[in-house]
C-alpha cells in the first residue's frame, strides 16, 4: 500500500510504548495526540518560555498539505493550558528532518494558579491534516535544513 499521509514513531522512541494518534469518532476532524513523557507545567510568569511537550510522533503527508496542531478543547477551561503559538503548523518537509526526525511538539503556557501535571499517555491536543493554496506569484524555493524553529536559519 502506498503511503499518502499518516503518523509514525520518531527515532529514539521506538521502545517507549508511544501510541499513534487516532480519531475517536467517525466525524472527528482531529487525531488525538498523547504526551510522550511526564511533565509539570508551572503557572505563567512574565518572560517565561513555554513548556514543550514531546509527542514521540512524526507525520508524513503530500507536499501541498500541512498538519495543524490544535489545543484540546477542554485544556483552557479545565486546566488553564493554552498553546503558546495559538496553533502549530507542521510543514510536509518537516518529516524526517536531520535535527529531530520530524518529531512534533506542543508548546503550552499554564494560566492557572497551580502546577499542572501531564502524564505520559495524556491526550494533550489534536492534529488535523489540511491542504494549502499558493498565490499566482509564489516563488518559494528554499530547502528545510533543520527541525523545530529552523525556518529562518
Q: What is the pTM of this model?
A: 0.89
Cα separation, 85 vs 39, in Å, equals 19
Secondary structure class of 43 (helix, strand, coil): strand
Taking the domain 8-131, which CATH number applies? Answer: 2.70.40.10
pLDDT tens per residue, range 128-151: 999 999 999 999 887 757 655 555
Q: What are the sequence ranges of the domains in the chain?
A: 8-131
Residue 14 clears pLDDT 80, i.e. is over it: yes
Cβ 113 vs Cβ 102: under 8 Å: no
For the chain, where are the alpha helices, taking DSSP H only? none
Amino acid at each position: 500500500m502506498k503511503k499518502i499521509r499518516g503518523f509514525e514513531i520518531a527515532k529514539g522512541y521506538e521502545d517507549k510504548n508511544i501510541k499513534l494518534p487516532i480519531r475517536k469518532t467517525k466525524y472527528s476532524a482531529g487525531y488525538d495526540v498523547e504526551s510522550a513523557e511526564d511533565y509539570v507545567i508551572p503557572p505563567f510568569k512574565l518572560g517565561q518560555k513555554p513548556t514543550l511537550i514531546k509527542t514521540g510522533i512524526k507525520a508524513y503527508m503530500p507536499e501541498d498539505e500541512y498538519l495543524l496542531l490544535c489545543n484540546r478543547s477542554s485544556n483552557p477551561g479545565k486546566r488553564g493550558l493554552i498553546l503558546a503559538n495559538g496553533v502549530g503548523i507542521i510543514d510536509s518537509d518537516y518529516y524526517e528532518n536531520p535535527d529531530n526526525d520530524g518529531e512534533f511538539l506542543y508548546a503550552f503556557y499554564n494560566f492557572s494558579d497551580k502546577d499542572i501535571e501531564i502524564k505520559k499517555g495524556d491526550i494533550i491536543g489534536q492534529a488535523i491534516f489540511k491542504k494549502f493554496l499558493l498565490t499566482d506569484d509564489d516563488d518559494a524555493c528554499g530547502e528545510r535544513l533543520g527541525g523545530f524553529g529552523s525556518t529562518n536559519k
